[in-house]
A and B are shown apart, each in its own frame.
Chain A
Amino acid sequence: MDHPSPQTPAPTPTNRPSPNRSSNHSSNQRSTDGRAVVLVDGVRVPFMRSGGHYLDLLAYDLARSAVRGLLERTGLEPASLDRVIMGIVMQNPKTSNVAREAALGAGIPNSVPAYTVTMACISSNQAITSAAELVASGQADAVIAGGTESLSDVPIGFGKALRKKLYQLRKVESVWAYRKLFRGLSLSDLVPRTPGIEEYSTGESMGEYGDKLAAMFGVSRKDQDEYALRSHQNAARATREGKLSAEITPVAVPPRFDPLDTDNTVRPDTSMDKLSKLPPVYVKPYGTITAGNASPLTDGAAATLVMSEQKALALGLTPKAYLRHYCYVAQDPYEELLLGPAYAVPKLLDEAGLEPGDIDVIEFHEAFAGQVLAVLTALGSDTFARDKLGRSSRAFEVDMDILNRWGGSISLGHPFGATGARLVTTAANRLHDEDGQFALVTACAAGGLGHALIVERYEGSA
């Protein structure tokens, strides 16, 4: 499917007429200066609501299928890989280096090293930028970078008190000592715990914060429901038109082995009427985030092939895009838990020397409709720009027409560790579909973290 085009000249890091407005190349700036880094392609397994089709699987199974699908799609000889990197949030202790298990399971030679990264909802973004760094610095030529998550299989465990006793149990020799050991445990210590969804440092849940954030920026319930509706409509249209099949690798999994090739998270039939009837879930009774305007619990995996341009071309592959500049930011997890993109986007545009008008495609992670709209408000606000960014005027008034045209995490689902790789892949595919040059990928993450990345369409390809 790809045609070799070895004669394509290696472009400069940003081939814009006057790229670098920013004279300040601070140490914070991260770009893939050095060797040109390309995204050859990316795929994902269909995203499924948790507790559904993937209930019998581990995150490793999903990752393995995604990696296998990517190898098939690109035709890359696995032996030419230098590294496999996977992101994940809820690790299963049996497959704690899930990248390695998935790589071995997918038939990648055991001589290819693999490692796993975690950075909350931007884990696979970190996987991809780590891959880009390895490639740019000449340490690798071909890396599979992606992520996986099964929220159907979160590691349910016991509390610290019981875990401590169970550890001490190994040394117990008599029944008497055994009884003594368990004295002092309360009944509640015996109840298994699901992993906390609260921020460890603040004790506040993501949803509580999202609800607060929406209120901080005056985003109404109606605005949020309308945004959610748009996300579902976009995803449904993209699915119907076959746009998403470019990124989906079909699977058939135990126990029923139904052929799965579309996401079951999208609700094509939802409406304002249905959405407005849902009760708030995090802040009761007067909060605004509902099950309808938040991203659903999802299982899924995604993988991308990141290579040096030179090697890709030498192997006869046609890259889809360049991976250009990127940055990570962090704020106070209490005050600005999910506001990362409002800081990351202006910073990245400055570093890349791009204007908002240069951006043709935006792929924006949708944790909650309220969070997306709050961040967009912040980006378009002069006050926010002055008070928080030290800029004289608004950073970015986003044109909704270029934002998440094929749906987003609210409609397509949000397997924490895999979302970033989906965003990057979709951004590249949309650049081709919409005939754009630059795409902006941005996402927030727990811990007050944020990320933004510039993807540039690869000119040599279809």
Chain B
Amino acid sequence: MSYFRYDKTDGVATLWLEQQGSDVNTLSEAMIDEFAEMLDRVEQQPDVRAAVLISGKPDTFVVGADIRQFVTFDDKDEVRALLRKGQAVLMRLEHLSKPVVAAVHGPAIGGGLEMILACHYRVATDSTDTTFAQAEVKLGLLPGLGGTQRLPRIVGVTTGLELLLTGKNLYAKQARKAGLVDALIHPPGLHHAALAAARDLAHGRRTRRRLTLSWRDRLLAQTPLRRIVYRRAQTDVDERTYGNYPAPYRILDTVRTGLSKGMKAGLDAEADAFADLVLTPESRALVNLFFLQNDAQKNPFGAAQAREVDTVGVLGAGLMGSGIAELSTRGGYDVVLKDQTMELAAEGKGTIWRSLDDSVGKGLRAFERDVLAERVRPVADVDLFGKVDLTIEAVPEKLDLKQQMIRDVEARTPEHHVFASNTSSIPLKQLAEASQRPDRLVGMHYFSPATKVPLLEIIRHADSAESALATACEVGLKQDKTLIVVRDSPGFYTTRILALYMNEGLELLNEGADIRAVDTAMKQFGFPVGPLALFDDVGVDIGAGIYDVLADLFAERGIDTSDAARKMVEAGAKGRKSGRGFYHYEDDDRQGVNDDVYRFFGGGERRTFAKVDVQERLALMMVNEAVRCLEEDVIDTPQDGDVGAVFGLGFPPFLGGPFWYLDTRGAGDVVQRLEQFTQAHGPRLTPATLLTEHADTGRSFYAS
């Protein structure tokens, strides 16, 4: 027995889920098999009248299926057979003659949630550790053990669809409200409460929850009204995904089948859909990213090398600076937040407070907001930096200003202090010229908005000491970031590949493309925001500044840098912050295209481009440059390249990142396409040497 421990008190059996040799419980074929044996035992023992299913691990119930297993699937029939077997066990549980109570503390995710859905009563702890999610959609899948069928029958069609389609977490109190959980209890009382509930069920003092639809749900799911329900859900999916992800549609179909044709048909549809989806490239890419992100949430230099950090200094209290400060206080650090004046610094604290306040009621208590905000000390000078262990500067991208900051801060801070620049493009080598302690200088490149974008790009320059890098990584991890470490060079990794991608957008405008057409094409390709809208968000002036830093690189690529961006800035169209850029903005909301800027791109005459050409020119520009970064050792591995592009720039996750995309599509095909583009549009689209090599050998990037 390696998954369950069985014991018995007063006629109630307890099935303790305790996967041996693992910190957490995961769902697998072996576990389901043993679960079936447990059900036999419950059924066969005459003195057992009811059972409780509970985890024996301290803070988790079941974290989901063993995802590593998914990667090995290659035969639809086998997958389907496996699921049917699991479905049958849970069906047996649902119809067991003796009542089974689920007792949940900690996350009940994916298959873990499906197990408890088949139980007859659910008790959960009121702890914030306790969460429920049918997260399969995030891996391009759907629940395969009846989740698509039982969840809507328990929480209703509307909530059920929402949970299945978004994969979002429910906390215990929300789950109670949704009807997913029948009773709440404090963690130490969980087992007792479940035993009491089991006895109540066994003695008829409480009746089993039946999986029947409410009249409201029957109205929504079994009358012509259902068309409206499903159409609305489908429209939501279309708008969010542009049809790039097959899973949500299969989820909709499966739910619909089950609710109109019954559980049996629903389960069949579910097994079919899972077997199809698990073999799709979309799912494979998402599963790979899941593993990559897990790996990128560890300190590559080892936590042991990191210096203890108590206080983080942040220079610049604008949106970026206050975002970094918020992440730092949430990460448990005291923060000294400096700007030029007290007014600016205090306003930064205001930004942090408002952002924290938005989280109140969503996992944060008002009191915790107060504690977190109180840790941030706004200042106008470096007097307090004597106690700062690591400073992150987020001042404007001006070399002399940043160098002055280094000198000011180093004059005040202790020897072990790490100075981290949040520059998006200025080489650290240049910043280091101002430093007395260049070994303690690193880059910590955040993405706007810092509190939302998962990536943190750590930059090491020639003299960066490993302990300084380890310290920066540790702070980044405490800030809940996904990390990649890149080598110092102009634009590093993310800015460099993004700059070439965005430049290609400007090239298209020069050739007569329509602003919205370009943005829409890239959103349909799978980016969260179009390149020109992104220009506005970053700030056209900032974008233009990056051109200067990357001037040599652009020249090398044969890019004739247009000065259109600079002219836009001169004309006051700096993007979102100035109310206009490529678009107009009202109250910070994006409005229509700002036709006025076409005069910087050859006039108002616009023409139509083939969507696929727009998409491929931009995307392949980014992919090709990513390969160059690998070639030049700016990034260490293709995996880092994929993490950086997906989690920092929003490269379409279903494509898995630039390198995964190359491996899936084939380097040869991409080289061919780039060569066509080179002929038509110039040498900037010339395939990278390493890419051509891969095309020639047919070797994949991931294999190397």
Contact = CB atoms under 8 A, between A and B. Distances in A.
Interface in A177-222: 200-203, 208, 211-212, 215-216
Interface string B491-506: 0000000000000000
A201 B365 CA distance: 8
Given A202-B365, A202-B367, A286 B185 contact: yes
A419 B198 CA distance: 41
Interface string B156-195: 0000000000000000000000000001111111001100
A287 B184 CA distance: 9
Contacts of B183: 284-286
A283 B186 contact: yes
Given A285-B183, A286-B183, A286-B196, A215 B189 contact: yes
Nearest to A288: B189
A203 B365 contact: yes
Contact of A212 (B123, B186, B197, B365): B186
B608 to A, nearest CB: 49
Nearest to A211: B186
B367 A286 contact: no
A287 B188 contact: no
Interface in B191-225: 192-193, 196-197
6 closest A-B pairs by beta carbon, nearest first, are: A286-B193, A215-B189, A212-B186, A215-B188, A216-B188, A201-B367
A215 B367 contact: no
Q: In this complex, which of B185, B186, B193 has the most chain A Cβ atoms within 10 angstroms of its Cβ?
A: B186
9 contacts: A212-B186, A215-B188, A283-B184, A284-B183, A285-B183, A286-B189, A286-B193, A286-B197, A287-B186
A222 B700 CA distance: 68
Nearest to B125: A212
Contacts of A284: 183
Nearest to B186: A212
A212 B367 contact: no
B315 to A, nearest CB: 32
A283 B189 contact: yes
B186 A208 contact: yes
B365 A215 contact: no
B211 to A, nearest CB: 22
Contacts of B184: 283
B582 to A, nearest CB: 36
B188 A212 contact: yes
B365 A287 contact: no
A208 B185 CA distance: 9
A287 B193 CA distance: 8
Given A285-B183, A286-B183, A286-B196, A211 B189 contact: yes
Interface in A263-302: 283-288
B463 to A, nearest CB: 44
A211 B192 CA distance: 12
Interface in B348-390: 365, 367
Given A201-B367, A286-B192, A286-B197, 7 more contacts: A200-B367, A202-B367, A215-B192, A216-B188, A284-B183, A285-B183, A286-B196
Interface in A202-244: 202-203, 208, 211-212, 215-216
A211 B188 CA distance: 9
Contact of B367 (A203, A208, A285): A203
Nearest to B371: A201
A112 B367 CA distance: 39
B448 to A, nearest CB: 32
Nearest to B185: A286
Contact of B123 (A201, A203, A286): A286
B418 to A, nearest CB: 32
B641 to A, nearest CB: 43
A202 B183 CA distance: 21
Contacts of A215: 186, 188-189, 192
Nearest to B189: A215
Nearest to A212: B186
Contacts of A211: 186, 189
Nearest to B368: A201
Contacts of B365: 201-203
Contacts of A216: 188
Contacts of B367: 200-203
A285 B206 CA distance: 11
A288 B185 CA distance: 11
A208 B184 CA distance: 11
Contacts of B187: 212
A286 B192 CA distance: 8
A119 B201 CA distance: 45
Contacts of B192: 215, 286
A200 B365 CA distance: 10
Nearest to A285: B183
Nearest to B184: A283
Nearest to A220: B192
A288 to B, nearest CB: 7
A216 B184 CA distance: 16
A413 B623 CA distance: 74
A283 B185 contact: yes
Nearest to A217: B188
Contacts of A208: 186
A158 B193 CA distance: 37
Nearest to A203: B365
Contacts of B188: 212, 215-216
Nearest to A201: B367
Q: Name which of A200, A208, A287 has the most chain B CB atoms within 10 A of its CB.
A: A287
B209 to A, nearest CB: 15
A288 B195 CA distance: 14
A200 B371 CA distance: 12
A284 B365 CA distance: 23
B619 to A, nearest CB: 47
Chain B CB within 10 Å, residue with most, of A200, A212, A216, A285: A285
A203 B192 CA distance: 24
A362 B365 CA distance: 38
A244 to B, nearest CB: 36
Nearest to B365: A203
**Residue with the greatest number of chain B CB neighbours at <10 A, chosen from A208, A215, A286:** A286
Contacts of A201: 365, 367
A122 B34 CA distance: 54
B123 to A, nearest CB: 7
Contacts of A202: 365, 367
Contacts of B189: 211-212, 215, 283, 286-288
B197 to A, nearest CB: 7
A215 B186 CA distance: 8
Contacts of B185: 283, 286-287
A155 B196 CA distance: 39
